[in-house]
Amino acid sequence: TSLDPNSDTKSVKVETKWKFPRQRIVIEQLLGEGEFGRVLKAKAFNIAGKPGYSLVAVKTLKPDARKQDFYDLLSEYQLLKQVHHPHVIQLLGVCTHEDGPLYVIIEYASQGSLRNYLRKTRHIMTSDLRLLEDNPDHRVTPRDILSFARQIACGMSYLSDIKLVHRDLAARNILLSENRVCKISDFGLTRDIYEDNAYFKKSKGRVPVKWMAPESLADHLYTTKSDVWSYGILLWELVTLGATPYPGVQVENLYHLLKEGYRMEKPSNCATSLYALMKKCWNVRPDCRPSFLEIYDFLDNLLTDSI
């Protein structure tokens, strides 16, 4: 089911205001690769009203991409063009499928994913058991953790206001820009719109089970409130500097554990107030979970109090 460029050209509807000439892009290097596609670092000339060259990230497909991947990337564009917020990754332009591969051009976040960033700040144990603290300006304090959490809540509050459900909120999908500004990215998309039951079975391997609310696992129900559940897991990732949730738990067993009321315990270095917030996000009843605005206000107060 390899993509036929000719048969799909007509389905691409990109508004003129987002079209960007391919000749003004210089690809520099590969930033990341998934099963869906590739992210490339590039320079774009005179993009989004900025004169000269800007660093950008280009999302594109692998040569052997399937039709589905093409639709996924297109729907990511459809979502991104609606959003404009300091804590959500910004769309800059699109090179359509008419004269080459589909490119979705987004702002470049120089510090990469929050998960990798957090993991890099962990101390390194040398073979003679000395602790190596690498880069001093790479340190992450408890206050930084709260600040990251507040920024993400701010962006998610905006997305929930415009009725956009993310579906894949996790530290790996938060990007950090030059000044450590958090940018929500990699929208879980409208994946299921094209997804019949057969496809769901096929794609089950890439469902982020450990971030999913029980109702998403059981009934494929995705709402802002299931985003709030994932946000609680993301908080846990922040506090543990990028650990993988539910250590030692097999994903096959997770749903039953959650139904029995099992939740992750408080990480040893985690403030009681922050753990209480996680637990509220993990309420089995979606309507009992806090809103992103309530989460934002709570974190804002914590940050204000702890000056």
106 binds ligand ADE (CB under 6 A): yes
Q: Which stretch binds ligand ADE (CB under 6 A): 104-112, 239-247, 284-292, 298-306?
A: 104-112
292 binds ligand ADE (CB under 6 A): no
DSSP three-state, residue 148: helix
Query: Quick check: is 168 catalytic?
Result: yes
Instruction: Report the side by side order of strands in the sheet with 174-176.
Output: 112-113, 174-176, 182-184
Residue (189 or 228) nearer to ligand ADE, CB: 189
Task: Point out the catalytic residue in the list 69, 72, 168, 186.
Answer: 168
Q: Which amino acid is at 4?
A: D
| Beta bridge partner(s), residue 125 | 131
The one among 108, 148, 187, 211 contacting ligand ADE by CB under 6 A:
108
> Backbone dihedral region of 112: left (phi > 0), alpha (psi from -120 to 50 degrees) or beta?
left
Residues in region 127-166 near ligand ADE by CB under 6 A:
none
The one among 118, 149, 152, 175 contacting ligand ADE by CB under 6 A:
175
Distance CA 182, CA 88 (A): 8
x-marked contacts with ligand ADE along 55-84 as a string, rule CB under 6 A: --x---------------------------
What is the closest distance, in whole angstroms, from the C-beta atom of residue 28 to ligand ADE in the complex? Answer: 12
Q: What stretches of 142-186 adopt beta strand conformation (E)?
A: 174-176, 182-184
Residues in region 26-45 near ligand ADE by CB under 6 A:
31-32, 39
Spell out the residues 6+ positions from residue 80 whose beta carbon is closer than 8 angstroms to its own.
89, 90, 91, 104, 106, 187
Residue (32 or 267) nearer to ligand ADE, CB: 32
Cα angle for residues 88, 90, 92 (degrees, 5° grid): 175
Residue (88 or 281) nearer to ligand ADE, CB: 88
What is the closest distance, in whole angstroms, from the C-beta atom of residue 243 to ligand ADE in the complex? Answer: 21
What positions carry a catalytic annotation?
Answer: 168
